Amino acid sequence: MQSLRTIAVKWPFIGLQISNAAMNLGHALAAVLYPWVMYQISGSILWTTAIAAVTVSLLLMGLVVGGYLAELIGIRDVALSASNLAALMALAVATLYATDLLTPNLFLTLAVIGGILEGPATIAVEAKLPEIARLSKVSNHQANVIDDIIDSTVLVGAPVIVGLLLATVGVLGLMWAIAALSVTALIFLFLSLPRFRLATAPRLQDTFESFRWFRQALRAPHLLFGGSFALGFFITMQIFLVPAALAIDDMPAESLGLFLSGAAAGMIVINIILATMKPRHASSDVPGATLLGLSASVALLAFNMSPLMLLASGLLAGLSGGLLSPVHAAMPQMRAPRHLRSTALGLAHATLVIFLPAEMLLVGILIYTVSVKTTFVISAIGLLTMALVYHCWFVD
């Protein structure tokens, strides 16, 4: 009886974490699967580039203006609207694919509709996490630790799940899994997210003030932006470059699972190592080391894409990408004035993926104009050059 009473008291926080876990996992699975599917139904790398770049660009813009929209419309309304759109989009894509009615134009339109409020919804919920924790009688420290553990688990586990589902239930089964996760996220969000009292209408001036505050709060801009560039390419490898290369070469979905599983294993290993080390500030050479490791990972794929090479490349990419954890942990805490919290938090999140749309577009253009192998070679050389420039320019 006591345990039921405890769950009832803490339900807003518990239900929200279940919803977030389902939503984030669904997004992670879709980020890998949807570009792959776009290539399968269009046969064009340009369409594949479009759906990857457009959805990420929507997320980036939504993060920037998300705080303003959330305060203007209401936290619960924005979050539920976004979750409804995402669930309807996932169900529509799965249904149309199963009936052979999914076209590139329709797929891109649905992706835009489904992702248009993703950024604002993310910021809406994140900005209210302290209030939700207090309402659920959970300390801010506990809430942040639990939230980080769930996010990290989803991030590391998603590639493995994609590989397993592609190998066992195929593309259509994975689509229905994404739809089920989206519906689950919507249900738990509806049942747990409180209706907060609408605050005073926000001012556009607050957004510009947040830009100024965020710029002043950055103590090491080169570290954050260098890490963001490296993170962008790490994500591009997982959700676009490698899937596109395998699809073009007509390699089976299990091959993608090998690369993603290797990347997940690498991230797990490096995060365990970092967790056992004494706490310290992120080294200014972390982005350079990550770029160097990613360069070596891409170079392996330029050599060949055998199963062993895919696994080794994924492992090296995961080890390199995992190094970025200290960079993101070093990002300044959101200590902005209360009326700037949502917009400042959105800017912080947006900074982490600021280079991702451009990197996806550049990789897509390279694949279209030259070839996959040449794209690997150019990427490896470019990453190596940037690592050396970063080390010589920013590292003492």
DSSP 163-217: HHHHHHTHHHHHHHHHHHHHHHHHHHHHHH---PPP-SPP-HHHHHHHHHHHHHH
**Contact criterion met (CB below 8 Å) for 38 and 96:** no
Q: Do domains 1-191 and 217-396 have the same CATH topology?
A: yes
Q: Where are the domains of the chain?
A: 1-191, 217-396
Predicted confidence (pLDDT) per residue in 157-188, tens digit: 776 677 677 777 888 888 999 999 999 988 98
Q: What is the pLDDT of residue 92?
A: 94
Report which listed range, 11-15, 123-127, 298-302, is most confident.
298-302
Handedness of CA 123, 127, 133, 135 (dihedral sign): negative
Full-model pTM: 0.75
Q: How far apart are CA 108 and CA 103, in angstroms?
A: 9
% of the chain with per-residue pLDDT over 90: 17
Whether residue 316 has pLDDT greater than 90: yes
Q: What is the pLDDT of residue 191?
A: 86
Q: How far apart are CA 7 and CA 57, in angstroms?
A: 38
Whether residue 241 has pLDDT greater than 70: yes
Q: How confident is the model at residue 101 (pLDDT cuts 50, 70, 90)?
A: very high
Could you give the residue ranges of the DSSP H alpha helices within 193-285?
204-217, 221-236, 242-248, 253-276
Average pLDDT over residues 284-297: 88
| CATH number of the domain located at residue range(s) 217-396 in this protein | 1.20.1250.20
Predicted confidence (pLDDT) per residue in 347-394, tens digit: 777 777 788 888 988 998 999 899 899 999 999 999 999 999 887 887
Q: How far apart are CA 368 and CA 245, in angstroms?
A: 11
Predicted confidence (pLDDT) per residue in 339-353, tens digit: 666 666 667 777 777
Whether residue 296 has pLDDT greater than 90: yes
CA 106 from centroid of its chain's CA atoms = 24
Q: What is the pLDDT of residue 199?
A: 55
- Topology, domain 1-191: Growth Hormone; Chain: A; (1.20.1250)
**Mean pLDDT, the chain, whole residue set:** 79
Q: Which of 5-9, 66-70, 144-148, 298-302 has the lowest mean pLDDT?
A: 5-9
